[in-house]
Amino acid sequence: MSAAVLEVSDLTLRFGGLTSLDKVSLRHERGEVLAVIGPNGAGKTSLFNCLTGVYTPQEGTVTFHPDGGTDTAVLGRKPFQVNKLGIARTFQNIRLFNALTAVENVKIGIESHQKTGPIGAMLRLPRTRREERASDDEAFRLLEFVGLKARANQVAASLPYGDQRRLEIARALGTKPQLLCLDEPAAGTNPAEKRQLETLIRDISETGVSVLLIEHDMKLVMSVAANVVVLNFGQVIAAGTPQQIQRDPKVVEAYLGGGESDDAATTPPAKKVPPRKTSLKKPED
């Protein structure tokens, strides 16, 4: 058995009287792609926000096992501290630094772990120059990795939607995570972009980064995930390989009985596509 990279146990999150997550436990093996699925309102995004420091759940523990480091509790840390631990994330409604170029976006991710302070930056000390060079090289490497090298100097907001998704992933990878959390990366992408994404997730997984995937697109989940956890009404109702999940009657019932009117259990309803770029309000997550 391989070691776990993340262990969640008995996580409970309440908003007033509403229980959003109810004793959720899961185990993410190092290096694998774990998918969390479930109908709308099942608590997927709440779980995600607990793992990344946005919400503080009332009960439960989340333990991160860094490679070659000591086990660390994730809860109670601020989002930037969670990132420093080695857990990076993307957003369901893409949140890039829109007015900056693609390469600048990635550099910001890389540089968040560098040490240059304002004095160093003003004097361009040797370390600053070294770090700057490293950040440039790494940014281009990552852009090449996600297939955006040709667009390095384009402004983020001007990129096509699928490219923005991949740029956000590149930015997250820039922070050198051991665990990458993707929040519905396929939402709003077209079939061609989806196929690219599938390859990209596999490539990321091959570099040794564990991927936690929240997704609605079952085809994507079935093709890339090694294991799947199913949430419904804030509880884990099933966990196992994609094949096991597909046959699990509870899962079938959750999707069909959840008030959704889709015809097949294997194709859970696609969530309402989030607005592509010009939402009136800033996306809430």
Enumerate binding residues for another protein (CB under 8 A). Answer: 13, 15-16, 52-56, 78-80, 83-84, 88-89, 91, 95-100, 104, 107-109, 111-114, 116-118, 121-124, 128, 131-132, 135, 155, 157, 171-172, 174-175, 277-282, 285
CB nearer another protein, residue 27 or residue 113: 113
- Return d(Cα 35, Cα 182) in angstroms, integer: 9
- Return d(Cα 158, Cα 129) in angstroms, integer: 30
Minimum distance between the CB of residue 218 and another protein, rounded to whole angstroms? 27
Minimum distance between the CB of residue 92 and another protein, rounded to whole angstroms? 12
* β-pairing verdict for 59-64 and 4-15: antiparallel
CB nearer another protein, residue 85 or residue 230: 85
Minimum distance between the CB of residue 257 and another protein, rounded to whole angstroms? 28
Burial 167-182 (b: 16+ CB within 10 A, else e): bbbbbbbbbebbbbbb
Structure tokens at 80: 């930037």
CB nearer another protein, residue 183 or residue 248: 183
Minimum distance between the CB of residue 8 and another protein, rounded to whole angstroms? 18
Give the residue among 45, 46, 12, 47 at the shortest CA–CA distance from 28.
Answer: 47
CB nearer another protein, residue 206 or residue 282: 282
Structure tokens at 122: 């003003």
CA 66 to centroid of chain Cα atoms: 17
Minimum distance between the CB of residue 118 and another protein, rounded to whole angstroms? 5
